[in-house]
Structure 1
Amino acid sequence: MKTIVVYARTAHTGKQISACATHIGLPQIVKAVDCIPALFIALRRGPVDVVLVDVALAAPDPVKFTRTVRTRYPRTGVLFTGAADPRTAATVAAAGALGFIKARSGGADDLLVAFAHAIVLARTSLVNTAGDVPRQRPLQPLPMRLSEREVQVLAGLTEGKPNAEIGRDLFVSEDTVKTHAKRLYRKLGARDRAHAVAIAFRSGLIS
């Protein structure tokens, strides 16, 4: 069975990412690692289709990191996430990376949301290219309908925006955003921001 390897900052973040993978329906093909040795052990064991990497962990030279992985494992794609400028995103793409999913800060929540996006994108790629990937489970109906405002807040969460920025976009206070977020978490049965994003992807609220 092919694998998506997620290179995260800490073991705790790795566990959270693995939990997101479970909610999206990918518990068997997502593996989280938190150091370079563990990453290359996973690559040697293979086959690995995609490595999702926090760009901060590829410092000081994400281009070299990309070329090293692509040279040693040409069938493995590299997808970055995190906070980086457009020039860095362009240079890693030129070096052979699949792309770059930007997080608005280095905060754990933002990176976790970006990883949720990346896992979904990577899974789409796997489904389109591999016949041995497990089929996604049927979409499950949501227990309660989200209000228009809750959907707007959820959209902001999926873009990795902090509550204050979502509030500015919607012309409401940060406290109001937090209230809407708590309500949509309850309706979705989500524990936190990343869990809500995963459920939204899984339920078809976000495409």
Structure 2
Amino acid sequence: MQPCPQGESTGRKAVVTNRPADAMAPPLRILIADDHDLLRDTLVLFLESEGGMAAETAADLPAAIAAIERGPAYDLVLLDLTMPGMNGLEGLERIMALGGGQRVALISGTGTPELAERALALGAAGYVPKTLAAKSLVNAVRFMAMGEQFAPFDFLRTAPEEAANPLRERLTRREAEVLEGLVEGKSNKEIARDLRVTEPTVKLHVKTLYRKIGAHNRTQAAMIARDAGLF
């Protein structure tokens, strides 16, 4: 058997290969567009250290547009709200209008809940505050790249009765929906069908919400939710 030749450099960042052995899908392609070098590099490190994601970067909106037009399509484009060329939500709409199938989300340290809701209403894949913890940010990017819409529950405007529940405030909207399915005794397959997402996506949500609420299994998660009066 001949030794495997070294691959040629493509100019793109390498993909960390510490994915589970049974993960056969190609890595999710993520474009991070932000004018802060340190933030871009940190996000790349966070995402690729988790495995299963390959991140590329751009420093402004024109560079992001050029990267998208070169193709192939990204699974997710993450745009900084205030980087050069954005002009608020106008930049978001320009990227979304390019087509190609990539989903587009905003990341910002200065945006308001009202702006986040406007972005989601325009069809954005999500809104990610820069104050989000690293692990939560990685999960948010993965979920959005897989077809989910993301925004932290405690960031968006919520009804008073929702905001008053400490357990709900720990969860994203989708995690709360998955937890409700667990309370109702549904399987992952049934929850996926009801929410119109894939079963692997539901499994990721289940794993994340277990960690957030301190549960070790489905029964315990359901009991915690009931005891908290969440459903």
Scaled by the length of structure 2, the TM-score of the pair is 0.45
Higher relative contact order, chain-length normalized (CA < 8 Å, sep 6+): 1
Q: Of the two, which has the highest radius of gyration?
A: 2
Scaled by the length of structure 1, the TM-score of the pair is 0.50
